[in-house]
Amino acid sequence: MNQLEQLKQYTTVVADTGDFQSIKAYAPQDATTNPSLILKAVQKPEYRPLLEKTVADFPKASTGEIIDRLLIAFGVEILKYVPGRVSTEIDAALSFDTQATVAKGRELIALYEAAGVPRERVLIKIASTWEGIRAAEILEREGIHCNLTLLFSLCQAIACAEGGIKLISPFVGRIYDWYKKSTGIEYAGADDPGVQSVKRIYQYYRKFGYATEVMGASFRNTSQILELAGCDLLTISPDLLQKLADSDAPLERKLSAEVDADIQKIAMDEKTFRFMLNEDAMATEKLAEGIRAFVADSNKLKQMIEGMR
35-93 pLDDT tens trace: 899 999 999 999 999 999 999 999 999 999 999 999 999 999 999 999 999 999 999 99
Confidence of residue 256 (pLDDT cuts 50, 70, 90): confident
Residue 293 has pLDDT above 80, yes or no: yes
Distance CA 94, CA 90 (A): 8
Closest CA to 164 of 188, 183, 182, 139: 139
**Mean pLDDT, all residues of the chain:** 96
Q: DSSP letters of 230-245?
A: TSSEEEE-HHHHHHHH
Residue 257: per-residue pLDDT: 77
**Catalytic residue set:** 125
- pLDDT value of residue 128: 98
- Strand, helix or coil for residue 147: strand
Q: Domains of the chain by range and CATH?
A: 3-306 (3.20.20.70)
Q: Tell me if residue 13 falls in helix, strand or coil.
A: strand
Q: Say whether pLDDT at 284 is over 80.
A: yes
Is the sign of the CA dihedral 142, 62, 131, 72 positive or negative?
Answer: positive
Q: How would you label 214-249 residue by residue, b for 16+ Cβ within 10 Å and e otherwise? A: bbbbbbbebebbbbbbbbbbbbbbbebbebbeeeee
Q: What is the largest CA-CA distance in the chain?
A: 60
Asked if 159 and 269 count as a contact pair (C-beta separation under 8 A), the reply is no
* pTM to 2 decimal places: 0.96
Q: Helix, strand, or coil here: 11?
A: coil
Q: Can you give the pLDDT at residue 300?
A: 96
Q: Which of 178, 125, 180 is nearest to 14 (CA)?
A: 125
- What Cα–Cα distance (Å) separates residue 139 from each residue in 70, 120, 133? 22, 13, 10
Cα first-last separation, the chain? 50
Per-residue model confidence as pLDDT tens digits over 197-222: 999 999 999 999 999 999 999 999 99
Separation CA 42–CA 186 (nearest Å): 34
- Give the residue from 223, 205, 225 showing the smallest Cα distance to 214: 205
Specify the range with the lowest mean pLDDT, choosing from 18-27, 195-204, 221-230: 18-27
Q: What is the pLDDT of residue 35?
A: 85
For 240-263, what is the mean pLDDT?
92
